[in-house]
Structure 1
Amino acid sequence: MRLFVALELPHDARARLARLGTSMLGARWLPPENLHLTLRFLGEMPGHRAEELDGALAALRGRGFTLHISGVGVLEKAGRPQALWAGIERNPQLDHLQAKIETAVQRVGFEPERRRFNPHVTVARLDNASPLKLAEWVQANNLLRADPVDVEHFTLFSSRLGKDGAVYTAEVEYGLA
């Protein structure tokens, strides 16, 4: 089972982000139902590990908060564009929740996350997209502002890879007071 912990976005926010999609050669736009804010990717694991993880996440306590989607950018790896994203403004409540999740997953035996948490929503995957087209897309959308998103829970998702891309399933929701 391939798992990750994320914040689901409400329908209106996903619809707003889906409208960023254009016909750009080399960009595969994610379907609106797949748009989310990843808090921790966990990867493949057997069922008993998933149960341990569920127990650790269920024990977390936190308060709800509001997210603000703002701006766009290009994610690069080794100098090559990999994805387009919409930004999430930093806030202490989001950082605190992510840190608590990181601590919980380490307590049940997962390795520490090596990458620094950079809150964003991936909107497209890239494969040899034109640098000029990417720059035009960023320039056209860099002032993106979406309605605030109230966060009342976080979710453990499973991910199954298929011929048409990944299918994400919400397995468990964990409420925030």
Structure 2
Amino acid sequence: MKRLFTGIYLPYGIRERLSNLCYGIPGINWVSEENFHITLKFIGEVEEEKLFDISDSLSEIKFTPFTITIRGVGSFQGKPNQILWAGVQESEELINLFNQIEKVLGQHEIPKEKRRYSPHITLGRAKGINQKKLDEYMFTNHDFSILESVPINNFQIFSSVLKPKGPVYTIEREYDMIG
């Protein structure tokens, strides 16, 4: 069994800039620079043979390259963890990619998302952090922006192994865009 998700692995320079946001709040498990990505769709635990079928089906998705803008920081309040994130501006192309992936995965009995897709880059996870420190962090970094558009030319299917120091992601397959 492999724990899988689809996502967009970000270029090195972008990951490096995002890592500059990962500081200053005790109790946060910051995401390591090599793990920064935009999750498209969490798939879950899948048998190895089903991975091959899913992987082949995802290769049928066709669309042209596009760009994204990374702007702002925020947090999702959840149980048991609070997620700190950098925002990804929604675009028609990104939503189209998400919808195509949802459709393909639905053919493999992967349930559709119940929540509205909210593109973001997870920076860190926390349990019971100091709210004052979090508020200061948000105030300091609220206008974070990567000024240039980030080119998106492919997406990936990742496996995820949960370790005590955080997840380890492995790219299982990459899908280049047509265009």
TM-score band w.r.t. shorter chain:
over 0.9
1:112-158 superposed Cα distances (whole Å, 9 cap, x missing partner): 11121000000011111111111111110111111321000000000
Aligned counterpart, 1:64:
65
Task: Please tell me whether residue 90 in structure 1 is matched to residue 90 in structure 2.
Answer: yes
Aligned counterpart, 1:134:
134
8 Å contact kept, 1:74–1:81:
no
Distance 2:105 2:144 in 1: 33
Aligned length: 176
Distance 2:36 2:53 in 1: 26
Query: Following superposition, which runs of at least 4 residues in structure 1 exceed 2 angstroms of deviation?
Result: none
AA matched with 1:49: K
Q: How does 1:11-90 map to 2 (within 5 A)?
A: 11-77=12-78, 82-90=82-90
Distance 1:163 1:22 in 2: 20
Aligned-pair distance for 1:159?
0.6
8 Å contact kept, 1:73–1:87:
yes
8 Å contact kept, 1:38–1:121:
yes
Calculate the TM-score normalised by the size of structure 2.
Answer: 0.95
AA matched with 1:109: E
Distance 2:56 2:6 in 1: 13
Aligned counterpart, 2:105:
105
Aligned-pair distance for 1:86?
0.1
8 Å contact kept, 2:87–2:119:
yes
Gapped regions of structure 1 (runs ≥ 5): none
SS at match of 2:90: coil
Aligned counterpart, 2:114:
114
SS at match of 1:123: strand
AA matched with 1:68: T
AA matched with 1:128: G
The 10-residue stretch of structure 1 (160-169 or 88-97) with the greater mean CA deviation from structure 2 = 160-169
Aligned identity (percent) is 34
Aligned-pair distance for 1:81?
6.1
SS at match of 1:159: strand
Aligned-pair distance for 1:23?
3.1
Gapped regions of structure 2 (runs ≥ 5): none
8 Å contact kept, 2:25–2:137:
no
AA matched with 2:112: P
Cα RMSD (Å): 1.2
Calculate the TM-score normalised by the size of structure 1.
Answer: 0.96
Task: Please tell me whether residue 144 in structure 1 is matched to residue 152 in structure 2.
Answer: no
